[in-house]
Amino acid sequence: MNRWRGDPWAVLLTLSLGFFMTLLDITVVNVAIPSMIDKLHASLDEMLWVINAYILVLAALLITSGRLGDVRGPRTMFIGGVTLFTVASVLCGLAQDPAQLIAARVAQGLGAAALVPQTMTIIIGTFPAERRGAALGVWGAVAGVATIAGPTLGGFLVSAVGWRWIFFVNVPIGAVVLAMAVVLVPDVRHGVRHKLDVPGVALATATLFCLTFGLTEGQRYDWNAGIWALLGGAALLVVVFLIYQGTRQDDEPLLPFALFRDRGYAVMSFVSATVQVGMIGLFLPVMIYLQSVLHFSALNAGLVMAPSMVVSAFLSPVAGRMSDRIGGKYILMTGLSLFAVGMAWLALVTGVGRAWWEFQPALIVAGFGIGCVFGPMVTVAMRNVEPAMAGAASGVLNTIRQIGTISGSAAVGAVLQNRLAASLHAEAAKRGAVLPAGVRGRFVAGFDDAGKAGLEVGAGQTGVALKPAPGTPASLARHIHQLAASVFEHGFVHAMRPTLALPIAVISVGVVSCLLVRRRAADSTAVVPDAADSPAV
């Protein structure tokens, strides 16, 4: 195996497997929520914390761990992160109550935060600049595959062997990644001793925690005064953090402002957030629609999305290689445009009683788009980044991506709930007109607050628990139940279309912003590591 040590493609395989695990655990848990509620006797609120605790810790610590990679070495941080993530996965699978599971998910988030920024840093230090786009294209393909593998793999494991195996499946993967990392991954350092900005770490962590907690939990707490206080505190801490970082630009800052003086990096940071809003805007309403309206199982709903992600996975490395040759700007703009077109097409074909194959043309177009996004986006962002700053650049870029995910989830969820409440009321009034006068008002009233429950439904549910009054004839009770299901199905479709308009609009802004990126010819001064910057192995 020693002859493979430092081989760029063997290193990339190792990093991609580790990256895949962390992304998989963002989405895989969603499918298992009903089973975990039943087996652990947990509330929905506790299960939402199982999801959000992981995301909160991951988002809050990415910048810090990226800089720690510069200080301690990215290989050391990657190996430590994989070890912690794998052990935490065992603890998740062994958890006997919600509190234990939430604590283990926090540990998982710590492990993921430690390893994720190091993947990009090591890729930059291992691959020469002319082949970096292809490598980052593979890295991007992993992101696409993990997004769809979560619901699909999660649905299979929950159905076949139980919810604990959505965590236990990480153990053999983690063991393999750990062994490969020890043997294959070089110690990428650049001959400069770094030190950690401890006050900056504290400010950044507090800022990101307040922001991510407020955005993640805002919908559940009805955007009350406490949530707005957290978001206001995050805004204040951002100002303090930036002022403090401004005083340290000549002394190892946690956030080097020089990163954003490069137009490509600055624009791609914004574009990465728009992409995540688009991704969550596609998957959140569509997965609910497939299970709640079309009554697909969790596994089948995941499989509906699979062809588009297969297309994305195969196309992403190709797009990365093309970025190396001709520059990524126009490939990225094409990809974002196709992604938006695919989502708009999907919005037009959604309806009640659709078959799985009716969505495939739109989803495959979106898959082509996604495949042309991640590799070129990261290539353009990191083209001029000096290897010694790769850890900070990777941490900041991944943090912005996670903030885009959380912001997109909050925004799309809020729009969907708002439109769902309005459409359910309208559908109930229209379809309830056939009911007797004494029943009609109660039927319509039962849907008035249904938007709050609309995001918590699963396969086979109507979204509203309507209980006929005592003494209601059985035939009328059945009719009410059928009407309720019809109201929810049609109401959700009507709510889903304007909801998809939000991520489409955000992606369109991302397309236009790409025009600010300089053409490849103007970037001929890109930093290419010389002998002095080559990795120390």
Q: Which of 251, 270, 285 is the last residue of a domain?
A: 251
Q: Are residues 224 and 167 in the same domain?
A: no
With a cut of 80, say whether residue 195 has pLDDT above it: no
Of the ranges 112-126, 401-415, 517-531, which one carries the lowest mean pLDDT score? Answer: 517-531
pLDDT digits (tens, 9 = 90+) for 48-74: 788 878 888 888 888 888 888 888 889
Task: Tell me whether residue 108 is in a domain.
Answer: yes
Task: Tell me whether residue 118 is in a domain.
Answer: yes
Q: Are residues 153 and 224 in the same domain?
A: no
pLDDT digits (tens, 9 = 90+) for 258-272: 889 899 999 999 999
Task: Tell me whether residue 400 is in a domain.
Answer: no
How far apart (Å, rounded) are the C-alpha atoms in residues 439 and 471? Answer: 12
How far apart (Å, rounded) are the C-alpha atoms in residues 375 and 328? Answer: 8
Letter for the amino acid at 325?
R
Q: What is the pLDDT of residue 222?
A: 77
Largest CA distance in the chain: 85
Copy the structure tokens of residue 185: 């991954």
Q: Are residues 22 and 81 in the same domain?
A: yes
Q: Are residues 160 and 205 in the same domain?
A: no
Q: What band does 44 get if pLDDT is binned at 50, 70 and 90?
A: low
Cα–Cα distance list, 280 to 198, 222, 285, 403, 406 (Å): 33, 21, 8, 12, 9
Q: What is the DSSP string of 30-68?
A: HHHHHHHHHHHT--HHHHHHHHHHHHHHHHHHHHHHHHH
Task: Tell me whether residue 263 is in a domain.
Answer: no
Tokens 């989502």, located at residue: 343
Of the ranges 156-170, 172-186, 272-286, 451-465, which one carries the lowest mean pLDDT score? Answer: 451-465
Of the ranges 113-127, 370-384, 521-535, which one carries the lowest mean pLDDT score? Answer: 521-535
Task: Tell me whether residue 385 is in a domain.
Answer: no
pLDDT digits (tens, 9 = 90+) for 238-249: 999 999 999 988
Q: Residues 409, 284: contact at Cβ < 8 Å?
A: yes
Q: What is the pLDDT of residue 522?
A: 40
| Averaged pLDDT for residues 289-318 | 82
Q: Are residues 99 and 243 in the same domain?
A: no
pLDDT digits (tens, 9 = 90+) for 141-164: 787 677 667 777 877 888 788 889
Burial 48-76 (b: 16+ CB within 10 A, else e): bbbbbbbbbbbbbbbbbbbbbbbebbbbe
Q: Are residues 135 and 235 in the same domain?
A: no
With a cut of 60, say whether residue 366 has pLDDT above it: yes
- The pTM for the full model equals 0.80
| Averaged pLDDT for residues 410-428 | 83
Q: Are residues 136 and 219 in the same domain?
A: no
Q: Are residues 133 and 39 in the same domain?
A: yes
Q: What band does 467 get if pLDDT is binned at 50, 70 and 90?
A: low
Helix-strand-coil split of the chain, %, nearest 5: 80, 0, 20
Q: What is the pLDDT of residue 501?
A: 93
Q: Are residues 132 and 210 in the same domain?
A: no
Q: What is the pLDDT of residue 453?
A: 44
Closest Cα partner for 446 from 398, 403, 480, 494? Answer: 480
Instruction: State the CB neighbour count (10 A cutoff) for residue 167.
Output: 25
Instruction: State the CB neighbour count (10 A cutoff) for residue 455.
Output: 19
Query: What DSSP designation does 450 have?
Result: G
Mean pLDDT over each residue of the chain, to the nearest integer: 82
Of the ranges 31-45, 59-73, 205-219, which one carries the lowest mean pLDDT score? Answer: 31-45
Closest Cα partner for 294 from 496, 503, 48, 37? Answer: 496
In terms of Cβ atoms closer than 10 Å to its own Cβ (0-12, 13-18, 19+), residue 325 is: exposed
Q: Which of 208, 229, 251 is the last residue of a domain?
A: 251
Q: What is the pLDDT of residue 472?
A: 67
* CA atoms in the 13 A half-sphere facing the CB of 442: 13
Q: Residues 354, 334: contact at Cβ < 8 Å?
A: no
Sign of the dihedral through C-alpha 104, 154, 63, 200: negative
Q: What band does 139 get if pLDDT is binned at 50, 70 and 90?
A: confident
Long-range contact set of residues 43-46: C-beta below 8 Å, sequence gap at least 24: 43/98, 44/456, 45/220, 46/98, 46/102
Task: Tell me whether residue 486 is in a domain.
Answer: yes
> Residue 438's domain spans which residues?
418-493
pLDDT digits (tens, 9 = 90+) for 315-333: 888 887 888 778 788 999 9
Q: Are residues 84 and 190 in the same domain?
A: yes
Q: Residues 415, 377: contact at Cβ < 8 Å?
A: no
To the nearest 10 degrees (0 to 180), the angle between helices 437-445 and 474-513 is: 30
Q: Which of 251, 267, 296 is the last residue of a domain?
A: 251
Q: What is the pLDDT of residue 1?
A: 52
pLDDT digits (tens, 9 = 90+) for 428-445: 888 878 777 767 777 777
Q: Residues 138, 320: contact at Cβ < 8 Å?
A: yes
Q: What is the pLDDT of residue 350?
A: 93
Of the ranges 117-131, 153-167, 250-264, 381-395, which one carries the lowest mean pLDDT score? Answer: 381-395
Q: Residues 432, 440: contact at Cβ < 8 Å?
A: yes
Task: Tell me whether residue 237 is in a domain.
Answer: yes
Q: How many domains does the structure of the chain reveal?
A: 3
Taking phi over 0 as left and psi of -120 to 50 as alpha, with beta for the rest, 471 belongs to: left
Of the ranges 155-159, 440-444, 496-500, 517-521, which one carries the lowest mean pLDDT score? Answer: 517-521
CATH number, domain with residue 166: 1.20.1250.20
Copy the structure tokens of residue 306: 């699979």
Higher pLDDT pick, 512 / 248: 512
Q: Residues 377, 272: contact at Cβ < 8 Å?
A: yes
Closest Cα partner for 289 from 446, 461, 145, 444? Answer: 461
Task: Tell me whether residue 203 is in a domain.
Answer: yes
With a cut of 90, say whether residue 104 has pLDDT above it: yes
Closest Cα partner for 407 from 144, 208, 117, 119? Answer: 208
Q: Are residues 205 and 189 in the same domain?
A: no
- Helix or strand or coil: residue 316? helix
Q: What is the pLDDT of residue 344?
A: 95
Q: What band does 455 get if pLDDT is binned at 50, 70 and 90?
A: very low
Of the ranges 239-248, 268-277, 376-385, which one carries the lowest mean pLDDT score? Answer: 376-385
| Highest mean pLDDT (candidates 90-94, 152-156, 489-493) | 90-94
Copy the structure tokens of residue 134: 């292809």
Residues 6+ apart with CB under 8 A from 120: 136, 139, 378, 382, 390, 393, 394, 397, 398
Q: What is the pLDDT of residue 421?
A: 81
Q: Residues 196, 67: contact at Cβ < 8 Å?
A: yes
Q: Are residues 69 and 176 in the same domain?
A: yes
